[in-house]
Each structure stands twice: as C-alpha cells, then as structure tokens.
Structure 1
C-alpha cells in the first residue's frame, strides 16, 4: 500500500478509502444480485426477476462502485487501483457470502483469500 499512500498523504488516503468503499459496494451489489436470483420462485417471470427490489438494489450499488472507482482513478495508477478494489471486494464477499448465504468457507477459500490479499499488497507497494 506504500505506492498508494506514497505521495500526498491524506489525499491518497482518500483514494484508498474510495477503493475500499468501491470494493464494499461491489460486494453488496453481488449479495443483492445473488439474493435476486435465489429469493424468487424458479418460474418467476422476467419482469419479476429484473424489477425486484434486490435486482434494482444491485444495479444501484454497482453504479456507486463505478463512481467511487472513477474517483480513485483520478490520481492513481490503474494497475494498483483495480487489484486493490477487486481484491478487497473479493475478500469482503467471500466472508459475507458465508454468513448471508451459508456458503462454505473451507481451507481452500482461506488459502485463496490469503494469496489474493498478498497479491494486493505486492501490487500496491512501491517499486
């Protein structure tokens, strides 16, 4: 994270905060999208599937994600910003999906999560 925080101090912390919030809103949108697919009967009509509160909420949170990500890109390298946003979102989603949907959280997911977070660390570092 040194490269992200290297220049500008507080200003770059704002961009990091924007990225982490973008990861969070991306995770929330994925939770809503999954909920929109699993909360309706299998034979639900097209309008029911795409006009449900959960589906519309997913779209709104995806839009917020784009705004936050665009804000961060204003002063960051995309090669650092994108992995931080997506990796943090992946980490949050992996944990949230376990609690919200009861998805398994086995050793393989812990290992994958650790590798992703290590990758984010190295991509965001200076040099």
Structure 2
C-alpha cells in the first residue's frame, strides 16, 4: 500500500459524495408530475452517474496496490463522512450528536485501517 493508493481511495470517496449530492438534488428538484425521462435524464441524475463512474475508475486503480478489505471500508467511511457534512451545507440536513459520534468512529476506523493495512 502506498500513499497514492490511499489518495485515490479518498478521491473516489469524494466522487461518491458528489454523486450522491447530485442524485439527491435531482430527486428533490423534480416536479410531482415528472415523467420517466425527466427523472432519469435530468442534469443532476446524469451528473451523479458521471461522478459514480469516476469513483469506480479511481477505486479500481487504487485496488492495483491496496487490499480491497482495507480500501473499501476507507472508501465507504470517507464517502459517508464527506456526505454527512456536505448534506448539512447543501440541503440543511441536521447534524445531531449521534451522527457526530458515528463520524468520529468512522474516522478512527479509517485511521486504523490505513495504518494497519
């Protein structure tokens, strides 16, 4: 495992976060009577797909030099941590105590995985 592979995993997590934000935005901005084409051809939905695709490419490249049992928890945890903060700023979703505790546990887990992998 090298520093570049960890950076790629975090970059994949960032792209996952952006993809999730765009997906939520695409759903929230749909009118109640939106058709199938409106729902799945909206800029937010297509942008979310693009960022998920970039996520996949970055993660696959990281797997060249890092164990999947280490990389995936880092990807999922970092993506969740970034998404929790981003959803607060973008959508005004609340940040309650239990979310902060969960985030602290995730960050601790990422540190242990990155050092022990």
Task: Give the TM-score normalised by structure 1.
Answer: 0.88
Unaligned runs of 5+ in 1: 5-11
Three-state SS of the structure 1 residue aligned to 2:34 is: coil
Three-state SS of the structure 2 residue aligned to 1:125 is: helix
Please identify the structure whose Cα radius of gyration is greater: 1
Aligned counterpart in structure 2 of residue 91 of structure 1, from 52, 56, 81: 81
- The answer to whether residue 67 in structure 2 is matched with residue 77 in structure 1 is yes
Three-state SS of the structure 1 residue aligned to 2:116 is: coil
Q: CA deviation at 1:119?
A: 1.5
**RMSD between aligned residues:** 1.1
- Find the aligned partners of 1:20 and 1:118 in 2 and give their Cα distance: 15
Give the equivalent residue in structure 2 for 1:21.
Answer: 11
- The answer to whether residue 103 in structure 2 is matched with residue 113 in structure 1 is yes
- Find the aligned partners of 1:64 and 1:119 in 2 and give their Cα distance: 25
Consecutive aligned runs of 4 or more in structure 1 exceeding 6 Å deviation: none
- Find the aligned partners of 2:31 and 2:98 in 1 and give their Cα distance: 32
Give the equivalent residue in structure 1 for 2:58.
Answer: 68
- Find the aligned partners of 1:67 and 1:98 in 2 and give their Cα distance: 27
- Find the aligned partners of 2:101 and 2:116 in 1 and give their Cα distance: 25
Unaligned runs of 5+ in 2: none
